[in-house]
Copies of this chain bind each other. A is one copy, B any other.
Amino acid sequence: MIDVQNPLLSKLSAFATLTNSERASLGRFDRPRRCFEIGTDLMREGEKNSTAYILLDGWVLSYKLLRSGERQIVDFQVPGDFLGLRSLLLRTADHSIEPVTPIIAVEIGMTDLLRIFRESPRLAAAMLWALSTDGAVVVERLVSLGRRDAIERVAHFFLELGARLKVVGLATGDGYACPLSQYHLADALGLSAVHINRVLRQLREEELMTFRAGKVTFDNFDKLVQIAQFDTAYMDHGGAARE
């Protein structure tokens, strides 16, 4: 059981080395493990008393719809990430969540949270840290949408995703598997799908990176980092936090 929770353990371990009892405490989510197929939302904006989850396998996206039918993808979540914790605290979901691929997730409720806070303040701190990291990612996306042009945005996006996947062992320094479509990228980065396509071509032709057939390959990592002004500082506070 703890086996499947590896992604979350990997992530929290980046913050602090967990004791056996803390690992056990995490493993004691005996709430149902659920699977969702593409097309079935895990959560709907406006829904009351929604359930939160820990994502064990697969990718999901969080989004908001506009009246015009357009959507803005707030973020993608990968294994080890929390889903809908904010909505749980707000008691009304402020965004929707849908699978990108078929997924496996464990439910968590308010009672589980409170239990963790009671049983292990250290674990609670690790979880708050993980939540804060999610917040930092959203803020960084905000900067992208506000002040970066299309190439910088796309480059930054793939670098950040790579860094997140690396933490849970799903990426190497060279690239990673990525199940997103160009429409996903467009809705996440505030661009049109057509323009995303042109930008991807440019990145490919300039031999910076390649996104094709569900695979991301970094052809010139350093130059890409420079173009995107990518700074990992907001993501890997792990080392700094251990003292």
Chain A residues in contact with chain B, CB under 8 A? Answer: 46, 48, 64, 66-67, 70-72, 74, 86, 89-92, 94-95, 114, 117, 121, 124-125, 128-129, 131-133, 135-136, 138-143, 145-148, 189-190, 229, 233-234, 237, 240-241
Contacts and interface: CB of A to CB of B under 8 A. Distances in A.
Contacts of A145: 142, 145-146, 190
Given A86-B136, A147-B66, A147-B70, A237 B91 contact: yes
B139 A139 contact: no
Contacts of A72: 142-143, 146-147
Nearest to A241: B91
A115 B72 CA distance: 38
Nearest to A64: B143
Nearest to A67: B229
B234 A94 contact: yes
Contact of A90 (B133, B138, B143): B133
A92 B233 contact: yes
A147 B72 CA distance: 7
Nearest to A139: B74
Interface of A is mostly: helix
A86 B136 CA distance: 8
Report how many copies the assembly holds: 2
Contacts of A229: 66-67
Contacts of A64: 139-140, 143
A141 B143 contact: no
A233 B86 contact: no
Contacts of A234: 90, 92, 94
A151 to B, nearest CB: 14
- Candidate in A90, A91, A125 with the most chain B CB atoms within 10 angstroms: A90
Contacts of A48: 240
A48 B239 CA distance: 12
Contacts of A90: 129, 132-133, 136, 234, 237, 241
A228 to B, nearest CB: 10
A190 B234 CA distance: 21
B141 A142 contact: yes
Contact of A142 (B133, B142, B240): B142
A240 B48 CA distance: 8
Nearest to A242: B91
